[in-house]
Amino acid sequence: MRCIRTRSVDGIRLQVSGALDALTVEELRPILDAVVSERPRRVVVDFTELTLLDSSGVGAIVSLYKRMKAEGGTVVIAHAHDQPRLVLQSLGLDRIFSMVGAVV
Amino acid sequence: METDSQCKRVMFRIRAALEYRPLTVDLVSTLSVQVAMADRTFRNEIVTAFGEAFNNLVVHGYAGRADGMVEVEAEMTCDQITLRLLDGGLQVDFASLGPPDLGSLPEGGMGVFMMRALVDDVSYLAGELNVLTLTKRVR
């Protein structure tokens, strides 16, 4: 798992690549904690290069979503496709998260 | 690998540790290609379900034990895959695990739900070796 963080006009963009799963999720958590602590209005989590997602990775994204929402911010999931999209759909999260640019 | 005209069988034994998760998932992904009628969605679903089963086994079954092993038996036909995971860890009572309240956006406890959602049959037999069986058929 690799996470590249960039600033955008109204928030923060996180490009998460590789596998976000039980093995790698602990690498992402401190990054998400730091993002939330900055209280951005919007966080875009870009899954363009994410190849694998499991329930542990989903848990970290759900945690980000809940904390951002509590602060009045939003989370956008961008370009979720293939297996990661399947996982989000199987949990009904594609109807909860703002999803953009999904490749079917 | 054993092969007859209708069924291919593969067994492998691997450390039940998260470091081995990528390799194990890759192996199952490769095996799933042997289901000739399966499409990419089918393969994604069985690989995802297996990954959740592997996670549960490592985290709950062996609960951090360093010496845990899991044996995987796979059977593939042209339209079905069956994966049996045999482990010597703690018994996990799947029957007692109800579905998570997805409306409350849980941050954990979704693995068994995903397994059940993504394959046709999930069965668990506790014993000296616990056996979790995942079966998925092409529709």
Q: What ipTM did this prediction achieve?
A: 0.92
Domain count of the fold of chain A: 1
Check CB contact under 8 Å for A59 and B58.
no
- Can you give chain B as a three-state secondary structure string? CEECCCCEEEEEEEECCHHHHHHHHHHHHHHHCCCCCCCHHHHHHHHHHHHHHHHHHHHHHCCCCCCCEEEEEEEECCCEEEEEEEECCCCCCHHHCCCCCHHHCCCCCCHHHHHHHHCCEEEEECCCCEEEEEEEECC
Chain mean pLDDT for chain B = 93
Q: Does B114 touch chain A (CB under 8 A)?
A: yes
Q: Which tens digit of pLDDT belongs to each residue from B67-78?
A: 999 999 999 999
Measured between beta carbons, the chain B residues lying within 8 angstroms of A56 are: 55, 108
Q: Is the pLDDT score of A104 beyond 50?
A: no
The upper half-sphere exposure of residue A77, i.e. CA atoms within 13 Å in the direction of its Cβ, equals 23
CATH number for the domain harbouring residue A95: 3.30.750.24
Quote the radius of gyration of chain A (alpha carbons, Å).
12
Distance CA B125, CA B92 (A): 10
Domain count of the fold of chain B: 1
Check CB contact under 8 Å for B114 and A90.
yes
Measured between beta carbons, the chain B residues lying within 8 angstroms of A88 are: none
**What six digits make up the tokens of A9?**
């006009």
Chain B residue closest in CA terms to A23? B18
Of A78, A64, A84, A81, residue with least CA distance to B51: A84
State the residue for tokens 């730091």. Answer: A34
CATH number for the domain harbouring residue B76: 3.30.565.10
The pTM assigned to this predicted structure is 0.93
- Pick the residue of B54, B110, B118, B136 with the most A CBs within 10 A to test the interface with A by mutation: B110
Q: Which tens digit of pLDDT belongs to each residue from B77-134?
A: 999 999 999 999 999 877 678 788 888 889 998 999 999 999 999 999 999 999 999 9
Check CB contact under 8 Å for B40 and A86.
no
Q: Is the pLDDT score of B24 beyond 60?
A: yes
Q: What is the pLDDT of residue A29?
A: 98
Identify the DSSP state of A79. Answer: S
Domain residues for A72?
2-100
Q: What is the pLDDT of residue B3?
A: 63
Nearest CB neighbour to A59, from listed B21, B48, B107: B107
Q: Which tens digit of pLDDT belongs to each residue from A29-73?
A: 999 999 999 999 999 999 999 999 999 999 999 999 999 999 999
Q: How far apart are the first and last CA of chain B?
A: 26
Q: Is the pLDDT score of A103 beyond 60?
A: no
Domain residues for B132?
2-137
Q: What is the pLDDT of residue B103?
A: 82
Contacts of A19 (CB under 8 A, 6+ apart): A1, A50, A51, A52, A53, B22
